[in-house]
Structure 1
């Protein structure tokens, strides 16, 4: 299983992904699920993946190959004129991979399915964020839906819904995401550390503001402990319930 979040802020975009992939409790691996491409001063693109590992790796590999030898039939995301067209290319590539694998069994649509978050900015337009489905279609974030989650989303969603503010700082957004991931980690063993964090300030066209947060990260441990204690204190401070 996977947990990834892409979030839109007034100041730019924030992404966080876990790295656990498993095919059973005794077959656990760590794989990167956050990928980036950039052209200085011109564009920055971020991809997050969830679903069948062979499918998502094939999508990323095809995108990389088509950057080296783009053409009319297989254009490159580094040449797409808008982030909408980038999302369209990613969706078409995902659909192509899923269909190519579907001959391997009658249940391939679910077996080889994947979902992708793609976000970034191309010069001349604002940062944009999209959620791409296995069928290749996609939706864009909005003021009503300013963040996307893929994978094991339900455990961390309530924290995001209560704590999100588009005007929040990148530091507060990272804190909010870490709490969302910490709650998911506590509830589901199929989501695991380390976590990959990427902050994209609007207009920077750079994807170098990253951090990998391991299980022994001092700040994460402090945050987790303070969060647990804060919840207990909040419950104790609420009005008593009459039985």
Structure 2
């Protein structure tokens, strides 16, 4: 989510290959160079694809003293998005070639790239499996990947570009809580990252587990508020506009 003050990011950690094969994997990855840049990537889709992309970014196949992170060398966030898009496209293409043409859909993944490099503004991109991407603006101020249909209406109604970081976190928690209750493919814990413009380090970062007191309070409060709002609506009548004596 893009705000006047910076960026607020949240991801869940559930991956699944069916209802009886559910695991927890981090979907948010963060790199920071104090006073110079902070970059985060969030992932959705095939786990092997997304882990392969992150590994290539960090070049984990090399010896430790030979590794370098390509994102830390880019001059702009646009270059970062371009590099991530190319790696994602190539990773999917390689997996598809190795497993046959019909396998391409199974290896699909998408990503959100967010951050700021000194000299530029905070920027937010959504990367498609084909490697192309779009950038957020204050006309389109937030992106979602993965399961979106349950939580999106809440963000649309609650978002305000000048809202506080705290209100933005609360809004995202409500959005995720609604999605978690409706879809088994999304689950706790949640990872949260807040980036204030011009700081180049995480302003606030934490993992939110199922027993988190604030999350539980938000979840219970939202459920109760929905019930109260429902009962406050005008009652429907079977006889409205009819002659009850007839």
TM-score using structure 2 length: 0.91
**1:1-243 maps to which residues of 2 (within 5 A)?**
7-65=1-59, 69=67, 76-103=70-97, 104-207=99-202, 209-243=204-238
- Cα distance between partner residues in 2 of 1:227 and 1:36: 30
Asked whether the 8 Å contact 1:37–1:207 carries over to 2, the reply is no
CA shift for structure 1 position 106: 1.8
CA shift for structure 1 position 69: 4.6
Asked whether the 8 Å contact 2:196–2:203 carries over to 1, the reply is no
Which deviates more from structure 2 when the two are superposed, residues 52-61 or residues 220-229? 220-229
Kindly provide the CA deviation profile for residues 5-33 of structure 1, in whole angstroms up to 9, marking residues without a partner as x. Answer: xx100000010000001111221110000
- State the aligned residue count: 233
Which structure has the greater CA radius of gyration? Answer: 2
CA shift for structure 1 position 234: 1.1
Kindly provide the CA deviation profile for residues 52-87 of structure 1, in whole angstroms up to 9, marking residues without a partner as x. Answer: 0000000000001189555xxxx8111111000000
- Cα distance between partner residues in 2 of 1:205 and 1:42: 6
Q: Which has the higher strand share?
A: 1
Q: Call closer, same or farther: CA 1:69–1:212 in 2, change over 3 Å.
A: closer
Structure 1 segments of 4 or more deviating over 4 A? 66-70
Kindly provide the CA deviation profile for residues 112-131 of structure 1, in whole angstroms up to 9, marking residues without a partner as x. Answer: 01000001000011100000
Give the RMSD, CA atoms, in angstroms. 1.5
